Amino acid sequence: MDWNIIIIVLATFLLAIAAILISKIILKFSFRMKNLSECTLDIHLVTAYGLIRIKRTLDIKDKLHNLMNDEGKSQETVGKWQKKLEDTTNDMMLKDLKAPMLEALKNLTIHCFVWRSGAGVGEAAATGRLAGAVWSIKGIFEAWLKRYVPMKKAPELSFVPFFQAVGFDTEISCMVSIRTGKAILTLLRFIKKWKKLNNRRTENNGTSNQGVNDDSDGKFEGNDRCEYDRWRSG
């Protein structure tokens, strides 16, 4: 057996893995909504130095329309999500997952973020108040991004008031990246945290009713003590 060939093959394999781990996963997405006539989401994923490319365009308006027309499917979907939200809220899992989610965001890098929008209600005064509210929301969102996500450049935010028209238009485009190795580690940590929370929830559900007898008269220890006292007195 030629050990030199084995060493070369092994070294090549390790170098290939290292190259993949240090490569970047680049995600570009663009969301556009115009009145109630257009609502689309474009997603473009590039990884492995451009060898893997995935591009999808989703017409959210059509999907929501199809879902609402299928009444049975719509009710089933709403029921499933309602149950998941109730379970999550009862166990306060969202609160427990907040820290790992924010930690995961720190591993991302935003290369560009653009949020353009415009709206009008047909009256100048009301449109002005709407513009102030929208700018407040955008300001809060910009501060949140700068606090939790590393950014290559400042977000580009704009709002155009339609003083003489009624309608709205918004467009959000963003490009983020993360190292493949960091993405894998972040996912593994998140899964570990999720399993830990699920195990804790299972243990709490399994022990919450312990100590109560079949007739719900009280705890076992209390009933056993009463039986012991009656045995001694009788």
Residue 154 inside a domain? The answer is yes
Per-state percent for the chain, helix, strand, coil, to nearest 5: 55, 30, 15
Residue 3 inside a domain? The answer is no
Which residue range forms the structural domain that includes residue 100? 35-203
CB 17 within 8 A of CB 11: no
- DSSP E strands in 60-152: the ranges are 109-121
Rounded to whole angstroms, how far apart are CA atoms 127 and 163? 6
Amino acid (one-letter) located at 168: F
Of the candidates 4, 48, 45, 3, the residue with the CA atom closest to the CA atom of residue 24: 48
- Average per-residue pLDDT for the chain: 76
Residue 179 inside a domain? The answer is yes
Residue 125 inside a domain? The answer is yes
Which residues, 6 or more positions from 23, have their beta carbon under 8 angstroms from its beta carbon?
Answer: 47, 48, 49, 179, 180
Higher-confidence position of 147 and 190: 147
Instruction: Please state, for a pLDDT cut of 90, what percent of the chain lies above it.
Output: 12
Which pTM does this prediction carry?
A: 0.64
Query: What is the number of structural domains in the chain?
Result: 1
